[in-house]
Amino acid sequence: MSSKNWNRRDLLITLGSAALGIGVVHPVIGETSSNPELFDNPKFKKPERPVTCIVLGAGGRGNVYASYAAKFPEEMKIVGVAEPIPFRRERFSEKYNIPAEHQWVTWEHALQVPKFADAVIITMPDNLHYPSAMEALPQGYDLLLEKAIAQSWQECKDILDLTNKYNKIVAICHVLRYTPYFRKMKEVVESGRLGDVVSVQHLEPVEHIHMSHSFVRGNWRNSEESTPMILSKSCHDTDILRWVIGKSCKKVSSFGSLKHFREEDAPPGSTARCTDGCAFERDCIFSAIKLYKEKKGWLHHLAIENHDDASVLKALQEGPYGKCVYRTDNDVVDHQIVNMEFEDEITVAFSMEAFSHYPGRRTRIFGTKGDLVGDESQMLITDFLTGKQENWKPGKAREGSGHGGGDHGLVHDFIQAVSQQDPGLLTSTIEASMESHLMGFKAEESRLKGGKVLETNINS
Ligand SMILES: NC(=O)c1ccc[n+]([C@@H]2O[C@H](COP(=O)([O-])OP(=O)(O)OC[C@H]3O[C@@H](n4cnc5c(N)ncnc54)[C@H](O)[C@@H]3O)[C@@H](O)[C@H]2O)c1
C-alpha cells in the first residue's frame, strides 16, 4: 500500500463529492490495486480433454463465449452452431472449424440430431431461452444459459425442475459475479470490515445512447418480446445485490415508467424514420444517421455484413434501428426504482436510469463499522474507528474478456464444472440465480400495481 501516487482529485471526480462526505473528511492512506484471482480455486483442474459445446445463436454473446475456445483450445471446443443469419453462421463456422453437418439455421435443427457434445450455449434472444433449454436438458446437455433465464417466473421454475430432474449443470450468465471488482466487493462485505450491513444504494446508469439502441429501437424494447427492463438489464443488479449482501430479499416495492421515448415527445417536423427527411434530425440526440452511419457506432445488432455508408443507410431505411425513437413499439421503462427489504432489516434502494452520459454501476454500502463507495472502476472503503481509507482499483482485465474480465471468468468456471461434473465449481448456477430473477419479476409486478409491497418468497 502506498499513498505516493494517490490523486485525491481523481477520486472526487469519479466518485462524486458524496464519496468524501460533506462533513468529516478522513485521510486517505492507501491506494491498492489487485485482481482477486479468478482462477484460483484449488479444486480447478486442467480438463483431460476439451469440453465440447454447441452454440445456439452466434451473435454478440455467442461469439464472446466461444472466443474462450479460441484462446484455450485445450479446455473448450466448439463443435456445432445454429444461427439464422448466413454471414454470421459462415464466419463462426469457419473460425471454429465446424463441419457442414453441424451447422444449422435454427436451434430446433441442432437439437433434432442425437446428442453429440457435452454442453449447449444458449445465446439467442430472450424468448428462445425457454424452449431451447427445455429441449436440451432431457437430451442430457449441460447448459450455459444467457440471462434473463426465461420470460416468466413459472418458466424459470420449469427449467430449474428439469435441471434437477436430469441432474444437469446450468450456468446463468451473470457475468458480473466473475469480475474482480464485484468479487472484491463481496470479499469486503464477507470480511466484516464494514460491520453489519445496514443499507445499500445502487444505481445502474444505462447511458442514454445505449438506452436508445437496445431498449427503444433494439431487441429489448418490448417486454412481451423479451422481458421487462428490470430483468433484461437489471437482473445483473438484483443478482449482484443478493450475492454481495449474502442474504435473501424479503419484500420489494417499485415505481417507474416510460417517461420519454413516446410519440407525444416527438419533436415537430420529425418523421417515422430518421431517413424520411426528418426536419429535426440534425438537432436530435438520438439521430440514427449520426449514430450508425456517421459515427459507425453500435453496428453489430444491425446484422449487416458490410458497414459502408450505403449498407448502413439501407438498414436504417428498412430495419428497426432507423426508426424515430419516439415512434417505435417500445414499452420498457426508461427509469425505475426498486426498494427492497432484505433479511436482518437491511434496506436496499436501487435505481435504473436511462438518462446518464456515463455507464458504470455506482454502489454505496453502509455498515455499522465502515462504508464502501464504488463505481466499477474503483472502490473507497472507510473504517469508522481508525479513519483509515483504502482506495482499491481492479487490476487489468484479462485480454479479450469483456465485462471487466467477467465473460471469460464465467466460461472458465463453466468448463471446470462440466469437465468435473461438479456444479459447486460455479458461482452462478441456475439455483443461485433464481432469487434475483424472482426479485425482478416481483418488482415489475409491484410497478404495475402502483408500487404495492410484494413478498419475494422463493417457495411461492
Ligand atoms: N450476460 C450479459 O451481460 C448479456 C449482455 C448482452 C446480452 N445478453 C443476453 O444474451 C442473449 C443474446 O444477446 P446478444 O446481444 O448476443 O444478441 P444478438 O442479436 O447479437 O445474438 C443473438 C443471435 O441469436 C440468433 N438467433 C435468432 N433466432 C435464432 C434461432 N431460432 N436459432 C438460432 N439462433 C437464433 C440471432 O440471429 C443472433 O445472431 C440475450 O438473451 C441477451 O439478453 C446478456
| Residue in this structure with the C-alpha cell 452452431, named with its chain if needed | 81
Residue 202 contacts residue 360 (beta carbons within 8 Å): no
Residues 123, 158 share a domain: yes
Q: How far apart are CA 80 and CA 94, in angstroms?
A: 11
pLDDT of amino acid 31: 72
Q: Is the CB of 56 under 6 A from ligand 1?
A: yes
Residues 190, 157 share a domain: no
Q: How far apart are CA 351 and CA 174, in angstroms?
A: 19
Q: Is the CB of 85 under 6 A from ligand 1?
A: yes
Residues 195, 163 share a domain: no
Which one of 175, 202, 231 terminates a domain? 175
State the cell numbers at 130. Answer: 425457454
pLDDT of amino acid 23: 43
Q: 3-class DSSP state for residue 362?
A: strand
CA of 250 to the centre of ligand 1 (A): 32
Nearest CA to ligand 1 atom 27: 124
pLDDT of amino acid 186: 97
pLDDT of amino acid 5: 40
Nearest to 380 by CA among 2, 3, 58, 20: 20
Q: 3-class DSSP state for residue 190?
A: helix
Give me the phi and psi of 202, to 5 degrees please: -140, 130
Residues 152, 98 share a domain: yes
Nearest to 256 by CA among 342, 353, 360: 353
Residues 306, 277 share a domain: yes
Q: What is the atom index within ligand 1 of the atom nearest the CA of 173?
A: 1
Q: What is the atom index within ligand 1 of the atom nearest the CA of 232?
A: 43
Residues 337, 219 share a domain: yes
Q: Which residues, other chains included, contact 353 with Cβ-Cβ below 8 Å and sequence gap of 6+?
A: 203, 204, 205, 206, 335
pLDDT of amino acid 323: 98
Q: How far apart are CA 345 and CA 186, in angstroms?
A: 19
CA of 252 to the centre of ligand 1 (A): 29
Q: How many domains does the chain have?
A: 3
Q: Is the CB of 173 under 6 A from ligand 1?
A: yes
Which one of 276, 292, 322 terminates a domain? 322
Q: Which string of b and e fits 131-160 if b means at least 16 CB within 10 Å?
A: ebbebbbeeebbbbbbbbbbbebebbbbbb
Q: Is the CB of 21 under 6 A from ligand 1?
A: no
pTM score: 0.92
Amino acid identity, position 150? A
Residue 208 sits in a domain of what CATH number? Answer: 3.30.360.10
Residue 56 contacts residue 45 (beta carbons within 8 Å): no
Which one of 272, 305, 322 terminates a domain? 322
Domain that holds residue 365: 8-24+180-261+331-399+431-455
Q: Is the CB of 89 under 6 A from ligand 1?
A: no
pLDDT of amino acid 457: 87
pLDDT of amino acid 35: 62
Residues 383, 354 share a domain: yes
Q: How far apart are CA 340 and CA 338, in angstroms?
A: 6
CA of 128 to the centre of ligand 1 (A): 9
State the cell numbers at 273. Answer: 424514420
pLDDT of amino acid 32: 73
Residues 372, 227 share a domain: yes
Q: How far apart are CA 342 and CA 256, in angstroms?
A: 21
Average pLDDT, the chain: 92
Q: What is the mean pLDDT of each run of 10 residues along the chain (460 residues)?
A: 39 39 50 64 91 98 97 97 98 98 98 98 98 98 98 98 98 94 96 98 98 98 96 97 97 98 97 98 98 97 96 98 97 98 98 97 98 97 97 75 79 96 95 96 98 91
- In a domain, residue 447? The reply is yes
Q: How far apart are CA 411 and CA 143, in angstroms?
A: 11
State the cell numbers at 254. Answer: 417499485
Residues 201, 130 share a domain: no
Residues 272, 224 share a domain: no
